[in-house]
Amino acid sequence: MADVDQPLAQEHSLDRDCTTLSRHVLQQLQSFSAEAQDLSAIMNRIALAAKLISRRLSRAGLVEGALGFTGTVNVQGESVKKMDTYANDVFISVFKQSGLVCRMASEEMDKPYYLPENCPIGRYTLLYDPIDGSSNVDINLNVGAIFAIRKQEGNDSDCDACDLLQQGHEQIAAGYVLYGPSTMLVYSIGTGVHAFVLDPSLGEFILASENIQVPDHGPVYSTNEGNFWQWEESIRDYIRYVHRHEGYTARYSGALVGDFHRILFQGGVFLYPGTLKKPEGKLRLLYESAPLAFLIEQAGGRASTGVKRILDVVPDALHARTPLIIGSTEDVNLVESFIQDRARASQEAVVASS
Ligand code: P6P
């Protein structure tokens, strides 16, 4: 008996294969306005950058000069990998002559990069970390890219992009690319979180998951416990708790995007708190923590500094850092409860001694 559902199944499969990133953005915006078309085109350019970087990563071990260090140090004081520079240049190249993005702010560049041919038409700024977790590149482990799109307010020539120093809820869109066994692009424009998988045979990102919701709680806690001796006592209290209670497991890859992606799909919490050496934390606010905070809140989770919602933090500089506690609502709340307990105890001690 012929499968009467065959045509439907085939139609579904064809429709799925045709749900590319740019089409999905327009569907999400429910509009074909000029602004919607711009946003769709920007996402498409990001997808092109991801494809170019994915191709380079997949053959890095065979390509002369793809791996290793450049011998330079970036604005963060970190040694720059050749892949960092390549990926940064790819992002810039895909937006040249696009009429879309006027300004690009990157972890790899001290100041924003202007694309004058796109200004004033393209009133958007792209903030991005072109390769997140680049320490994993030379050992063929997962790395990622993180991005956020913001409107360019006014003429920032007199204050060197000060209009970017705004809270994370000003972001128009945010997302990341995960270069893993498959290359995935996950994004939100404020209407849910959606995941695409790169189909190399098509050269297209195809919709894989829509309206992703992070579980309210998960077993994973993800942090670099090598910093235990540098943490506040409250964070140590949380780590002691998960060490002594059933149902928790540690996972940490050294690349924020991969660790975040696991939390997004399986639940749990990622934390990079302040340390003695970096009291403000290591992760950058504008192009790492704020985009992921945008996503996790769209997925029903939370992102906090430990005492403040990440999306409410106003950066004091383009490369400002922040402590980050991000993931399932119940797990972020649990970490914060240890911080609040210690703060209360300190306050009571002050009162008692006065
Ligand atoms: P540590 C990579 O350098 C990165 O910025 C994030 O991707 C990652 O989560 C973190 O730093 C790892 O830092 O101090 O644990 O090596």
Kindly report, residue by residue over 291-331, the tens digit of the pLDDT. Answer: 999 999 999 999 999 999 999 999 999 999 999 999 999 99
Q: Does residue 234 share a domain with residue 93?
A: no
- The Cα–Cα gap between 101 and 123 comes to 6
pLDDT at 3 over 60: no
Domain count for the chain: 2
Question: Which domain-ending residue is among 190, 209, 228?
Answer: 209
Name the residue of 78, 84, 224, 275 whose CB sits within 8 Å of the most ligand 1 atoms, as the mutation to test its pocket: 224
Instruction: Please report, for the domain that includes residue 325, its CATH number.
Output: 3.40.190.80
Structure tokens at 189: 């424009």
Domain assignment present for residue 238? The answer is yes
Question: Which domain-ending residue is among 181, 209, 237?
Answer: 209
Q: Please tell me the least confidently modeled range out of 36-45, 88-97, 160-169.
A: 160-169
- The Cα–Cα gap between 61 and 87 comes to 16
Residue 16: its pLDDT value, please? 74
Cα of 133 vs centre of ligand 1, distance in Å, is 6
pTM of the model: 0.94
Kindly report, residue by residue over 40-80, the tens digit of the pLDDT. Answer: 999 999 999 999 999 999 999 898 889 989 999 988 888 88
pLDDT at 2 over 80: no
Cα of 255 vs centre of ligand 1, distance in Å, is 6
Which 3 state secondary structure label does DSSP give 85?
helix
Q: Where does the pLDDT of residue 31 fall: very low under 50, low under 70, confident under 90, or very high at 90 and above? A: confident
Beta bridge partners of 249: 220
Structure tokens at 66: 């793809």
Which 3 state secondary structure label does DSSP give 74?
coil
Q: Does residue 191 share a domain with residue 265?
A: no
* Residue 198: Cβ within 10 Å count: 22
Q: Does residue 159 share a domain with residue 81?
A: yes
Name the residue of 282, 285, 324, 325 whose CB sits within 8 Å of the most ligand 1 atoms, as the mutation to test its pocket: 282
Kindly report, residue by residue over 243-295, the tens digit of the pLDDT. Answer: 999 999 999 999 999 999 999 999 999 999 999 999 999 999 999 999 999 99
Q: Angle CA(250)–CA(254)–CA(258) in degrees, nearest 5?
A: 80
pLDDT at 1 over 60: no
Q: Which atom of ligand 1 is nearest to the CA of 135?
A: 3
* Residue closest to 180 by CA, chosen among 110, 114, 250, 257: 257
Cα of 329 vs centre of ligand 1, distance in Å, is 23
* 267: containing domain: 220-353
Mean pLDDT of the chain: 93
- The Cα–Cα gap between 248 and 250 comes to 7
Residue 120: its pLDDT value, please? 76
Helix axes 233-244 and 329-353, enclosed angle (nearest 10):
130
DSSP secondary structure string for all residues of 277-337? S-TT-SSBIIIIIHHHHHHHHHTT-EEESSSSBGGG---SSTT-B--EEEE-HHHHHHHHH
Kindly report, residue by residue over 177-220, the tens digit of the pLDDT. Answer: 999 999 999 999 999 999 999 999 999 999 999 999 999 999 99
Contact 137, 57 (CB under 8 A): yes
Question: Which domain-ending residue is among 209, 233, 265?
Answer: 209
